[in-house]
Amino acid sequence: MAAEFLLEIGCEEIPARFLPGASQQLKQNIQRVLSVHSLDFDEITAYSTPRRLIVHASGVATTQPARSQEITGPPWAIAFDRDGRPTAAAQGFARKNRVGVEALSRIKTKKGSYLAYRKQVPGRGAKDILAEEIPNAIKGLELPKSMRWETSQFLFLRPIRWILCLFDGQVVPVQLASVRSGDRTYGHRILAGNREVVVTDFADYRQKLREADVEIDSMERLRRIQARLEAAALEQGGHLVEDPGLLQTVAHLSEHPSLVCGDFDPEFLKLPAEVLITVMREHQKYFSLRDREGKLLPKFLAVADSDGAFSPQIQSGHERVLGARLSDAAFFWESDLKVSLQDRVALLKKITYQRDLGTLFDKTLRIEALSEFMVRRLRRPELLAPAQRAAELCKTDLTTEMVREFSNLQGVVGGLYARVQGIEAEVSEAIYDHYLPVASEDSVPRGLSGVIVAMADKLDTLAGAFCLGLVPTGSRDPLGLRRQAMGLIRILLVKELDLSCDAMLGKAYEGVRRFADRSLEETSATFRDFLKDRMRFLFREQGFRYDEINAVLEVCWDNPVESRKRLGAIAGMRESPDFQSLATSFKRIKNILLKAGIDPSTAGAIDPARFTTPEENLLHSQVIAVDRRISGALREGRHEAALGMMASLRPAVDSFFDRVLVMDEDPGVRRNRLALLAFLLQTFLKVADVSEMVTS
């Protein structure tokens, strides 16, 4: 027998940002209840609106399958007398289980044979199990921020006001906080006047809620909004400024979305598009439109939780609100421009960058020093002036009203003000771009000055945190250090910059040394491990395999561009038989040295006079030649060639291992052979630690 389960937790408006997570978790927890209790089901689905968390399961077994349970009684030896008649012990055991002795059987255990009863336990009804488990499933939700609203002290995202819980058409009795479950729900708060609706099953529920102006499927609401946005854009002769995050949010903010298209005073178009779009998005959750040339239109699209019947009235309300917001922005824009960015540098002395890391002015000086260091490393002296100028001004927009109001416009606002104040494009662009890349889909700064300042800023942030021992753990990364490190690596890769991260970190450490409570060595080690982790993640995303990544990062993490080239070479080479065999030999060599207690980097000199076999001589002469050629190839960036050279040693290595016993009785001979292997190992390690490779 199979039946349908429907749960709706009716709430006051749940914050949009929590809705998807809570909804998915609730589904998982209910699914776990069903699985743990062996209740089969066909399909389980989650839905949500701001006022409801919904789980629907179809084809749920109405009872658990029966199961048998073995109850062990007295030892077999005392259960029957000499004539095979049950003893008092056996009869007692049978009586206790309310069966005749004939229903008992014999089981063998490690301790011997016993009398036993195999009991058939009927399954419990699904409804009872659900009634018992649902409260736990809900208390088991991991809620990011919950609240209390009544004396029961029950904690949830927002107050729970009703519970609809049906199984097989019957109410499952559940209580959460002071609310008891029933068979009713409520329609749209305004459009349907919060109408009470009695429900018999899911189809009925969905139908009646549609009639009561509620669409329970957030994906359906999202699609509807998307379609209307596109239609409206077309109608206005422009195209939508895409904003997937905002689209998600507004889909979780309404039960019955409709679209309102409004205008704002074209006078405000004197403000930069970045500012206008941000005001509309951040303050009002409006979408913006551009014309065919890409210029912003004096229009906005608002998603209302309404049916569109009173659109003109709603539209004029939204227009007035936006007008006021844009006036504020225009006020900020004009008053900010009264103080030049140059004059704002001094204001940075009053703003703490971070406790224990000085002021923003201190940070600015550090970014300048680091920028200069990078310019020299890159041998691009013409960048010195613009990069340093951008570094000097890059944080000044943190003193503006505009950034105080819209913190996510930091950098952008500085760049815009710089442009208006007549600062050269290379510098204003660098200021504009220097927080990039923020999200993984972001591009990197456009010009090289921007690239340099962006990297200097990130390195200083990382060095500052690590020198104080602030390292992200688990999901906690309040300073966004993972993003900073990822940004640094991505810039280096995209711009193919040949820079040593370790050297840059060393320079960054100089800047924060006076605040540090960790040594340079400790800070560098933290940085290295952190960067390696980020690179591992990034290269995995790019499709490289774990073992390839480990083999490379083991010997080459400092320069991500170089790391990626080697990865490419290894990935292309790994299937060749020579390479596979070499990887195996490599592991063997590592083990031999490890067992002999030899550190490959200090294994001592090789004395060719002490070789006793032709194989030793052959391998030695080949390694010397290959070692030199590998160094050359790596210098010239011919990574495939370097790997090929490694592979070319295979016959010599094979015949060495076939014919030569490394652990010779004569300690001198033995040491000499170990030194040869150590040399070989060192040669290979110049390219990659191929012992990390998984061979087929």
Partner 1 sequence: MWFQQLFMELLTFWGEQGCVIHLPYDVEKGAGTMNPETFFRVLGPDPYRVAYLEPSRRPADGRYGENPNRVQKHHQLQVVLKPSPPDVQSIYLQSLEKIGIDLRGHDIRFEEDNWESPTLGAWGAGWQVLLDGLEITQFTYFQQAGGLELNPVSVELTYGLERIAMFLSHMSDVFDLKWNASVGYRELRHADEVQFSRYNFEVADVDRHFGWFNDFEKEADRLIEMGLILPAYDYCLKCSHTFNVLDARGAISVSERTQLIQRVRTLACRIAQQYLTGEGHP
Residues that bind partner 1 (CB under 8 A): 12-13, 15-17, 50, 145, 147-151, 153, 158-159, 161, 178, 189-191, 194, 253-254, 260, 284, 302, 304-306, 309-310, 313-314, 316-318, 320-324, 327-328, 331, 350-352
Shortest separation between residue 346's beta carbon and partner 1, angstroms = 14
Shortest separation between residue 310's beta carbon and partner 1, angstroms = 4
In degrees, rounded to 5, the angle at the alpha carbon of residue 27 between the alpha carbons of residues 157 and 48 is 55
Which of 615, 611, 628 is CA-nearest to residue 656? 615
CB 254 within 8 A of CB 305: yes
Which of 457, 454, 452 is CA-nearest to residue 365? 457
Shortest separation between residue 258's beta carbon and partner 1, angstroms = 9
Q: Which is nearer to partner 1, 255 or 433 (CB)?
A: 255
Residues 404 and 552: their CA atoms lie apart, in Å, by: 44
- Report how far Cα 689 is from the mean position of its chain's Cα atoms: 28
Residues 332 and 268: their CA atoms lie apart, in Å, by: 13
Which of 561, 455, 550, 576 is CA-nearest to residue 504? 455
Shortest separation between residue 166's beta carbon and partner 1, angstroms = 23
- Say if strands 196-198 and 239-240 run parallel, antiparallel, or are unpaired: unpaired
Q: Which is nearer to partner 1, 35 or 327 (CB)?
A: 327
Q: CB within 8 A of 654, min separation 6: which ones?
A: 581, 585
Q: Which is nearer to partner 1, 139 or 148 (CB)?
A: 148
Shortest separation between residue 423's beta carbon and partner 1, angstroms = 26
Q: At residue 496, what are phi and psi to the nearest 5 degrees?
A: 50, 55
Q: Which is nearer to partner 1, 232 or 538 (CB)?
A: 232
Single-letter amino acid, residue 158 = R
Three-state DSSP class for residue 400? coil
Which of 126, 101, 104, 127 is CA-nearest to residue 115? 104
Shortest separation between residue 158's beta carbon and partner 1, angstroms = 7
Query: Structure tokens of 461?
Result: 């942030």
Single-letter amino acid, residue 156 = F
Q: Which is nearer to partner 1, 225 or 662 (CB)?
A: 225
Shortest separation between residue 463's beta carbon and partner 1, angstroms = 23
Q: Which is nearer to partner 1, 312 or 577 (CB)?
A: 312
Shortest separation between residue 226's beta carbon and partner 1, angstroms = 19
Query: Structure tokens of 458?
Result: 């990130």
Q: Which is nearer to partner 1, 69 or 313 (CB)?
A: 313
Shortest separation between residue 50's beta carbon and partner 1, angstroms = 8
Q: Which is nearer to partner 1, 331 or 546 (CB)?
A: 331
Q: Which is nearer to partner 1, 340 or 354 (CB)?
A: 354
Query: Structure tokens of 197?
Result: 């609706």
Single-letter amino acid, residue 490 = R
Single-letter amino acid, residue 286 = Y
Residues 19 and 12: their CA atoms lie apart, in Å, by: 12
Q: Which is nearer to partner 1, 58 or 311 (CB)?
A: 311
Shortest separation between residue 28's beta carbon and partner 1, angstroms = 24
User: What is the length of the chain?
Assistant: 696
Q: Which is nearer to partner 1, 191 or 459 (CB)?
A: 191
Shortest separation between residue 264's beta carbon and partner 1, angstroms = 12
Residues 482 and 462: their CA atoms lie apart, in Å, by: 9
Query: Structure tokens of 630?
Result: 């590998």
- Say if strands 179-182 and 160-167 run parallel, antiparallel, or are unpaired: parallel
